[in-house]
Chains A and B, each alone.
Chain A
């Protein structure tokens, strides 16, 4: 009933929980219960992030990771949409490719990272390739679903109103599929970030994954935690931006009061 005060008090509790955990961690390290070699401590992690920010290295790595993720989403999304519509338009082709698509989707994409490193080198493109293989399937399945779910009466109505195939595609089928694609935006971008960070971790010269791998290589727990923190904050901000974008693009949809949805971002 009183949503606003409830939300505010919830926020207070959430912050209290975070401070308790962080203070407990800090205290545990100071009192010698947690070995700083393995667990570091929040103050040092924060200090490290500040140092990275000051020297500018942080921005280079963060920028690299997000550019890779964005490129993965854009190209994987485009390919997924094209493939989704193509197979919806040609059911025979869809039937032919069905088992291969399933096999492709069943394969844990991480195992492709080494071969992409071999093919595309240490730079941005091996990460983008890995991200594309992840995003493609999510967008592809959502596109197919969106085309399938397009209401037949709605299609008949458009036809009766004189829609050509192209107009039907543009005004009915594409918007119907886009609804599904937008709904999967959070998952797509979340998975893209996971993929590129894993790619960086396995072999790169830049990026948050590379930063974490470097720190790990010299047993620098502080560096690992600092990298994790930066990544988490970055992903939260991106997730928030996507939520806003989604609200704008899907503003024609009723927004039922619903609890926070579990998602990747």
Chain B
């Protein structure tokens, strides 16, 4: 189940990050981190806070140019913003001056799609994330969970090959969060899309993913482990905690993550 191996820039990978180095001032945030994500897989990146998980995602998104290393999508190196990926942010990034519907169709508008077509598709997506009737609501009129649903639709409507998520639900309460996670799984299942999900919550990572990647404590984070999660799908997140296999996987990864968390604390103290 555990495969401590990550070598080579793989042409079959949807996303390849190879020997990524990200300096920050005199320090190094990421120190030669390599990550290959196979197409269609749901991969989570976990690690203690400050280990550079979000930095890694920003590199994958093309929002941040690394100081060293190679970045490629389906074997093709790219520079600048990654046009084949969507990014779901931790923060609220909906434009407050646009309605839910306008926010959802933003990506289609930017791609100069026919307005009527974009409108219809945005309607469909809002309905799909359970927000029918909220088309003309402004973000401030929606709850935190509803705003995340709009953001979700905004990301998926442009039909990206890879979806990058940076702790998208960390600001939500436990129950809303569980519902959103289930929703993500529902959207992803059968979509063939590749998901890279950054979180500090190991439970969340295991219950959603095919693979969990562990980064070491920062600064100078390195690749610290890679674990395949072969829990059967479809998964019901509500019953996950009662699952013995889940606990088995959890304790195994946790013993490694725990070390990194302790080291992270020791460095900060």
Contacts and interface: CB of A to CB of B under 8 A. Distances in A.
Contacts of B172: none
B96 A158 contact: no
Contact of B86 (A160, A179, A252): A160
B158 interface: yes
Interface stretch (B31-39, B106-114, B126-134, B258-266): B106-114
Contacts of B97: 175, 179, 252
B87 interface: yes
A160 B61 contact: yes
B115 interface: no
B239 to A, nearest CB: 34
**What does DSSP make chain B's interface, helix, strand, loop or mixed?**
loop
**What does DSSP make chain A's interface, helix, strand, loop or mixed?**
helix
A253 B91 contact: no
A38 B63 CA distance: 70
Contacts of A158: 95, 106, 110
Contact of A159 (B63, B138, B158): B63
Interface residues of B, number: 26
A160 B85 contact: yes
B95 to A, nearest CB: 7
Contacts, number: 62
Interface in A122-159: 151, 153-154, 156-159
Contacts of B111: 162
A17 B61 CA distance: 64
Contacts of B86: 160-161
A149 to B, nearest CB: 12
Contacts of A151: 91, 93
A161 B98 contact: no
Interface string B154-166: 1000100000000
Given A153-B89, A156-B87, A159-B63, A175 B106 contact: no
Interface string B136-179: 00111000000000000010001000000000000000000000
Given A160-B63, A161-B158, A252-B98, A153 B83 contact: no
Contacts of A179: 97
Nearest to B89: A153
Given A156-B87, A157-B89, A163-B110, A172 B96 contact: no
B184 interface: no
A253 B154 contact: no
B110 A154 contact: no
B120 interface: no
A162 B105 CA distance: 12
B96 A160 contact: no
A54 interface: no
A88 B93 CA distance: 22
Nearest to A155: B93
A78 to B, nearest CB: 21
B81 interface: yes
- Interface core residue of B82, B86, B106 (most chain A CB under 10 Å): B106
Nearest to A175: B97
Interface in A237-265: 251-254
Contacts of B139: 252
B119 to A, nearest CB: 16
Interface of B: 61, 63, 81-83, 85-87, 89, 91, 93, 95-99, 106-107, 109-111, 138-140, 154, 158
24 contacts: A154-B93, A156-B61, A156-B87, A156-B93, A157-B87, A157-B93, A160-B63, A160-B85, A160-B87, A161-B110, A162-B83, A163-B106, A163-B110, A164-B110, A171-B106, A171-B109, A175-B97, A179-B97, A251-B138, A252-B96, A252-B98, A252-B99, A252-B139, A254-B140
Given A160-B81, A160-B86, A162-B83, 19 more contacts: A151-B93, A156-B89, A157-B87, A157-B89, A158-B95, A160-B61, A160-B85, A161-B154, A167-B109, A171-B98, A171-B106, A171-B109, A175-B97, A179-B97, A251-B138, A252-B96, A252-B98, A252-B99, A252-B139
Interface of A: 151, 153-154, 156-164, 167, 171-172, 175, 179, 251-254
